[in-house]
């Protein structure tokens, strides 16, 4: 049960009421104050204070000061008058409950109105901000359009000036050519006049002969004409070969870059699938699969048939030379057969393909370093071998076998240095 607080003091003026409510240990965090026009309630567990005010107050402008073990209220009256008492007297429980419910409903309505007012204000602010942004965007668009128009006018003027300049240059060129060609034209005209004179004289001579009626000469001339007529040409065929286009489209409609890229991809795909290599034509479909060949090589390696495993890896690499595990496994075979230089070469190629170094290829990179380091050590290149073992330890520092091998190589190097001293 809450403890009802009845020890309070109050004073008034015609416009305000000053209420002092002592509450031990009260603070803003723990005090729950509820105030409406006719009802005031303070809940500070275990203390409870409520009062049904004598007359309505302005709850929005009224204030409360919490601190120093007390709450001091300043309640502003709605109507200037002196109250007889602070609270109503002779109020039964039903009336009190009705006043409480009415106060709660009034507070909820006030809160709802305040929420709607804030939402309306927020919408207005957003609408105003949107209108301002639209104005700014419109101004930017107009500025861009103006800049484009200015650039267009400038480009048009420059183009017109260039055309005028080209026209003037063409006219000057034509004038120079005319001056240069005038003597040649005169010579051609003189030759033409001379030729016309000769043809005219020949025609006159022929006409005179015709009027004399020399039939023998006419017959001779006719026969001469017949003899000068060339015979019919021999029938033959002309073969014309054209360079075929891969894409039968007009050049203006074709896209050369895209066509060449497509052709390159097709050629690369044929090389990858090895459909254009005659020596692979008799292989089965599974034998053309690099992954199948890799598994086949692994099985042959497990049976210590290293040469056959190398042949399987070789064929898989010819089919696809971008799989690092093929080189890594072939390096292991070369190590078994003491082909040390080939083992170093395959391990280096595997490390080139195992890029970028990520957690997914850490195990393969470590194996490549160990196999290359082993080959170096068997060639008595212990310093190079130690570098590869240390690189493997950076990938897997907890590998005891690699740690022991690296320590043995260090001892060998130190022993060699002591002997050389």
The residue from 283, 298, 329 where one domain ends is 283
Q: What is the CA radius of gyration of the chain?
A: 55
Secondary structure of the chain in the HEC alphabet?
A: CCEECCCCEEEECCCEEEEEEECCCCCCCCCEEEECCCEEEEEECCEEEEEEECCCECCCCCEEEEECCEEEEEEEECCCCCCCCCECCCCCHHHHHHHHHHHHHHHHHHHHHHHHHHHHHHHHHHHHHHHHHHHHHHHHHHHHHHHHHHHHHHHHHHHHHHHHHHHHHHHHHHHHHHHHHHHHHHHHHHHHHHHHHHHHHHHHHHHHHHHHCCHHHHHHHHHHHHHHCCCCCCCCCCCCCCCCCCCCCCCCCCCHHHHHHHHHHHHHHHHHHCCCCHHHCCCCCHHHCHHHHHHHHHHHHHCCCHHHHHHHHHHHHHHCCCCHHHHHHHHHHHHHCCCHHHHHHHHHHHHHHCCCCCHHHHHHHHHHHHHHHHHHHHCCCHHHHHHHHHHHHHHCCCCHHHHHHHHHHHHHHHHHHHHHC
234 inside domain: no
Does one domain contain both 309 and 393? yes
Would you state the pLDDT for residue 378?
94
Cα(221)–Cα(203) distance, integer angstroms: 15
The residue from 267, 283, 299 where one domain ends is 283
Q: Is the pLDDT of residue 332 over 90?
A: yes
248 inside domain: no
Q: Is the pLDDT of residue 203 over 80?
A: no
Mean pLDDT of 130-145: 90
Does one domain contain both 277 and 291? no
Q: Is the pLDDT of residue 175 over 60?
A: yes
The CA-based diameter of the chain, rounded to the nearest angstrom, is 169
Does one domain contain both 294 and 399? yes
Q: Is the pLDDT of residue 282 over 80?
A: no
Instruction: Give the residue numbers spanning the domain of 76.
Output: 3-91
Would you state the pLDDT for residue 253?
57
Does one domain contain both 267 and 325? no
33 inside domain: yes
* pLDDT tens, position by position, 222-239: 544 445 555 566 666 777
Does one domain contain both 290 and 414? yes
More confident residue, 253 or 308: 308
Confidence of residue 275 (pLDDT cuts 50, 70, 90): very low
Report the chain's mean pLDDT, rounded to a whole number: 81
* pLDDT tens, position by position, 346-401: 999 999 999 889 999 999 999 999 999 999 999 999 999 999 999 999 999 999 99
Does one domain contain both 206 and 306? no
The CATH number given to whatever domain includes residue 16 is 2.60.40.790
Place of tokens 């042959």: 300
Would you state the pLDDT for residue 217?
44
247 inside domain: no
Does one domain contain both 258 and 200? no
Cα(246)–Cα(78) distance, integer angstroms: 96
More confident residue, 84 or 336: 336
Does one domain contain both 277 and 296? no
Does one domain contain both 278 and 290? no
Q: Structure tokens of 182?
A: 């005038």
103 inside domain: no
Q: Structure tokens of 208?
A: 């005179």
Q: What proportion of the chain, given as a percentage, has pLDDT over 90?
A: 30
Place of tokens 């949107």: 130
Burial of 170 (C-beta count, 10 Å sphere; 0-12/13-18/19+): exposed
238 inside domain: no
Does one domain contain both 274 and 388? no
Does one domain contain both 325 and 272? no
Mean pLDDT of 290-303: 92
User: What's the number of domains the chain is made of?
Assistant: 4
Mean pLDDT of 70-98: 82
Does one domain contain both 292 and 402? yes
Q: Is the pLDDT of residue 279 over 70?
A: no
* pLDDT tens, position by position, 252-269: 555 667 767 766 776 666
220 inside domain: no
Number of residues assigned to the chain: 421
Confidence of residue 1 (pLDDT cuts 50, 70, 90): low
Place of tokens 């001379």: 194
63 inside domain: yes
Would you state the pLDDT for residue 153?
92
The residue from 210, 245, 266 where one domain ends is 210
């Amino acid at each position: 049960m809450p403890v009802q607080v009845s020890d309070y003091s109050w004073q008034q003026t015609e416009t305000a009421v000053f209420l002092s409510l002592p509450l031990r240990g009260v603070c803003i965090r723990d005090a729950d104050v509820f105030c409406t026009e006719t009802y005031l309630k303070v809940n500070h567990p275990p203390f409870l204070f409520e009062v049904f005010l004598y007359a309505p107050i302005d709850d929005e402008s009224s204030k409360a000061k919490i601190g120093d073990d007390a709450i001091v209220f300043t309640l502003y009256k709605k109507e200037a008058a002196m109250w007889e008492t602070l609270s109503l007297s002779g109020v039964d429980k039903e009336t009190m409950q009705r006043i409480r419910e009415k106060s709660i409903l009034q507070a909820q309505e006030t809160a709802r109105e305040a929420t709607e007012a804030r939402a309306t204000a927020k919408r207005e602010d957003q609408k105003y901000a949107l209108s301002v942004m639209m104005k700014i965007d419109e101004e930017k668009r107009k500025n861009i359009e103006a800049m484009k128009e200015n650039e267009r006018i400038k480009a048009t003027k420059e183009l017109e000036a260039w055309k005028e300049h080209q026209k003037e240059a063409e006219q000057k060129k034509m004038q120079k050519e005319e001056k240069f060609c005038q003597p040649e034209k005169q010579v051609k005209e003189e030759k033409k006049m001379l030729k016309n004179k000769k043809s005219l004289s020949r025609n006159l001579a022929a006409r005179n002969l015709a009027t004399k009626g020399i039939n023998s000469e006419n017959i001779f001339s006719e026969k001469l004409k017949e003899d000068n007529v060339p015979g019919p040409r021999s029938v033959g065929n002309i073969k014309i070969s054209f360079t075929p286009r891969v894409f039968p489209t007009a050049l203006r409609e074709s896209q050369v870059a895209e066509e060449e890229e497509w052709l390159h991809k097709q050629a690369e795909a044929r090389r990858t699938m090895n459909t254009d290599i005659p020596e692979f034509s008799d292989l089965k479909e599974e034998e053309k699969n690099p992954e199948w060949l890799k598994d086949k090589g692994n099985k042959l390696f497990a049976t210590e048939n290293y040469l056959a495993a190398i042949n399987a890896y070789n064929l898989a690499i010819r089919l696809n030379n971008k799989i690092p595990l093929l080189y890594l496994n072939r390096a292991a075979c070369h190590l078994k057969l003491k082909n040390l230089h080939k083992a170093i070469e395959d391990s280096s190629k595997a490390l080139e393909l195992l890029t970028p170094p990520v957690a997914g290829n850490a195990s393969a990179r470590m194996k490549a370093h160990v196999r290359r380091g082993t080959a170096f050590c068997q060639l008595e290149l212990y310093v190079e071998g130690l570098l590869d073992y240390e690189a493997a330890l950076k990938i897997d520092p907890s590998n005891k076998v690699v740690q022991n091998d690296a320590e043995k190589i260090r001892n060998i190097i130190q022993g060699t240095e002591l002997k050389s001293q």
